[in-house]
């Protein structure tokens, strides 16, 4: 029995969900990963974090090393056997699992297992809005933020309005849009090291757009993009703080 998330937001709250942290969050934004878990637990959902999890396999998949990607993917799938939704704090990794796992396992004996798993995958902000329909109370000071949406979140997972909905619930948060917000930040996983100069030009443009908003904080739901843009902003001496949206939401709304 698998759980898929309909668009209309009429799905009922499950009693438990799995949480797949993603390798970048695990290593570079672990607090944000934990905040995501807290946001879910606060809504009365039991969160299960299988300790054996590692990576969705996307870097190898995108590089054409599908055998290696499949081995890693198989290991992940085996850790999430129960029919709970699998929630990820990353549109990019969610896209990999949801849309590319079926292709990756095509012709394999366990393709049905992979498809079933893929059908349960959902990104965090869309789960919070679409299924849990969270109501947030802002307990923070006035602040201006800007939002960066990852390409895969937008184009593979169709996530655009959900993070904005969440931020709109915070009364003291002013959200300013990025110019050219649909343009890639230049991370692209291994692209940043395979085509370093083009990637550098892209992240420079993106960080200049961030600075132009005069926001004090850049938010994103994608660890790769964040690392990329934050790295560039910091190298330029910018004081803009770059945070994962889960971290921001938890900090602004938790009881003091």
Partner 1 sequence: MSAETPAPEFRPAASRALRDPELRANFRRAMDGLILKRGEQFADPVEWNDLRNLGAAIRGRTLAKLPELLERLEAACTRNGIRVHWARDAEEGNAIVLGILREHGATRVVKSKSMVSEEMHLNEYLEEQGIDPLESDLGEYIIQLDHETPSHIIAPAIHMNRRQIARLFGKKIREARYTEDIDELTAIARRVLRKKFFEADAGISGVNFAVAETGTLCLVENEGNGRMSTHVPSVHIALMGLEKVVENLEDVPPLYSLLTRSATGQPITTYFNMISGPRGAEEKDGPAEVHLVILDNGRSRIFEDEALAQTLKCIRCGACMNHCPVYTRVGGHAYQSVYPGPIGKILTPQMEGVGRRHDLLEASSLCGACGEVCPVGIRIPELIVRLRREAIEGRPDGPGSVAEAGRGRHALESAAWTIWEAALTDSGLYRALGFAATRLRRLLPPWLPVLSRWTSVRSTPVPGRRTLHELAREAGVPDE
Question: Do the Cβ atoms of 77 and 66 come closer than 8 Å?
Answer: no
Q: Is position 105 an interface residue for partner 1 (rule: CB under 8 A)?
A: no
* Member of 85, 122, 156, 178 binding partner 1 (CB under 8 A): 156
Q: Which is nearer to partner 1, 163 or 188 (CB)?
A: 188
Q: Is position 113 an interface residue for partner 1 (rule: CB under 8 A)?
A: no
* Member of 119, 129, 228, 253 binding partner 1 (CB under 8 A): 228
Q: Is position 25 an interface residue for partner 1 (rule: CB under 8 A)?
A: yes
Residue 11 CB contacts under 8 Å (≥ 6 apart), including other chains: 3, 5, 130, 131
Structure tokens that stand for 73 in this block: 């993917």
Separation of alpha carbons 206 and 184, rounded Å? 8
The distance from CA 48 to its chain's CA centroid, rounded to whole angstroms, is: 18
Q: Is position 29 an interface residue for partner 1 (rule: CB under 8 A)?
A: yes
Question: Within 84-103, which residues bind partner 1 (CB under 8 A)?
Answer: 103
Crossing angle for the helix pair 245-253 and 30-42, to the nearest 10 degrees: 50
Phi, psi of 143 (to 5 degrees): -160, 155
| Selected range binding partner 1 among 5-13, 20-28, 112-120, 164-172, rule: CB under 8 A | 20-28
The nearest distance, CB 48 to partner 1, in angstroms, is: 5
The nearest distance, CB 205 to partner 1, in angstroms, is: 8
Q: Which is nearer to partner 1, 194 or 214 (CB)?
A: 194
| Selected range binding partner 1 among 4-12, 54-62, 131-139, 247-255, rule: CB under 8 A | 54-62
Q: Is position 143 an interface residue for partner 1 (rule: CB under 8 A)?
A: no
Nearest to 245 by CA among 156, 184, 165: 165
Residue 5, SS3?
coil
The strand ranges marked E within the chain are: 16-19, 46-48, 86-88, 121-123, 143-148, 173-176, 217-220, 241-244
* Member of 197, 239, 255, 256 binding partner 1 (CB under 8 A): 197
| Selected range binding partner 1 among 28-36, 167-175, 209-217, 245-253, rule: CB under 8 A | 28-36
The nearest distance, CB 101 to partner 1, in angstroms, is: 13
Question: Do the Cβ atoms of 10 and 127 come closer than 8 Å?
Answer: no
Q: Give me the long-range contacts of 230-234 (CB less than 8 A, separation at least 24).
A: 231/203, 232/200, 232/203, 232/204, 232/206, 232/207, 233/207
Q: Is position 171 an interface residue for partner 1 (rule: CB under 8 A)?
A: no
The nearest distance, CB 39 to partner 1, in angstroms, is: 13
Question: Within 120-139, which residues bind partner 1 (CB under 8 A)?
Answer: none
Instruction: Note the residues at the interface with partner 1 (CB under 8 A).
Output: 19, 21, 23, 25-31, 33-34, 37, 46-55, 57, 59-68, 71-72, 75, 103, 151-152, 155-156, 182-184, 186-189, 191-204, 227-228, 230-232, 234-235
């Amino acid at each position: 029995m698998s759980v898929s998330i309909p668009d209309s937001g009429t799905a009922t709250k499950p009693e438990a969900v799995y949480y797949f942290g993603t390798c970048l969050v695990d290593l570079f934004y672990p607090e944000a990963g934990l905040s995501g878990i807290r946001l879910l637990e606060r809504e009365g959902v039991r969160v299960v974090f299988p300790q054996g999890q590692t990576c969705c396999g996307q870097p190898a998949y995108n590089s054409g090393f599908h055998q290696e990607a499949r081995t890693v993917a198989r290991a992940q799938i085996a850790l999430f056997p129960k029919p709970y939704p699998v929630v990820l704090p990353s549109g990019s990794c969610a896209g990999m699992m949801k849309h590319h796992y079926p292709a990756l396992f095509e012709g394999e004996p366990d393709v049905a297992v992979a498809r079933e798993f893929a059908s349960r995958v959902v990104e965090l902000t869309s789960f919070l809005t679409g299924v849990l329909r969270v109501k947030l109370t802002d307990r923070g000071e006035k602040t201006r933020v800007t939002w960066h949406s990852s390409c895969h979140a937008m184009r593979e997972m169709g996530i655009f309005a959900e993070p904005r909905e969440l931020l709109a619930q915070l009364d003291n948060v002013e959200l300013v849009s990025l110019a050219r917000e649909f343009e890639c930040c230049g991370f692209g996983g291994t692209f940043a090291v395979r085509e370093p100069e083009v990637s550098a030009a892209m992240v420079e443009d993106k960080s200049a757009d961030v600075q132009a908003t005069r926001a004090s904080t850049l938010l994103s739901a994608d660890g790769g993009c964040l690392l990329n843009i934050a790295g560039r902003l910091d190298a330029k001496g910018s004081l803009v703080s770059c945070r994962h949206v889960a971290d921001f939401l938890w900090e602004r709304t938790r009881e003091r």
